[in-house]
Amino acid sequence: MIRSCPACGRKNRVPSSHLADADRCGACKATLPPIAEPLEVDPPQFRDIVARARVPVLVDFWAEWCGPCRMAAPQVKRVAHDMAGRALVLKVDTERYPELAAAYDVRGIPNFIVFRDGAVAQQQAGLADHRRMASWLA
């Protein structure tokens, strides 16, 4: 995955297994903090991150037209911020990638799945607040 340095703006390649780690910019040596926001991913990125992550991964299956998904978005963003360095949060657009949603039997959205060591640890359809999502990742 490519990340921009907050200090100098240079692009840095960070392996998916290190997205939850603090790293250093290859150009200016400033700290690249752990990912602290939800990452919108396509199927190859999804598979790579879920398979290689050394921390739990929360995946939000959503769609633009879905009102409850829009209501859940700030909660998802908050849990990504609160759990930075201890978990990763991904977002999968079910309209763009219906095959990915189908692979995990996502029939209603929002739908949240927690992966640990590449395997499904928990799945829930419907709204949840950031505290509940954080408890799934603890």
Catalytic residues: 66, 69
Q: Is 6 helix (H, G, I), strand (E, B) or coil?
A: coil
Distance separating alpha carbons of residues 12 and 34, to the nearest angstrom: 13
If you compute the radius of gyration of the chain from its CA atoms, what whole number of angstroms results? Answer: 15
Give me the half-sphere count of Cα atoms (radius 13 Å) on the Cβ side of residue 28. Answer: 11
What DSSP line would sit under 11-30, residue for residue? EEE--GGGTTS-EE-TTT--
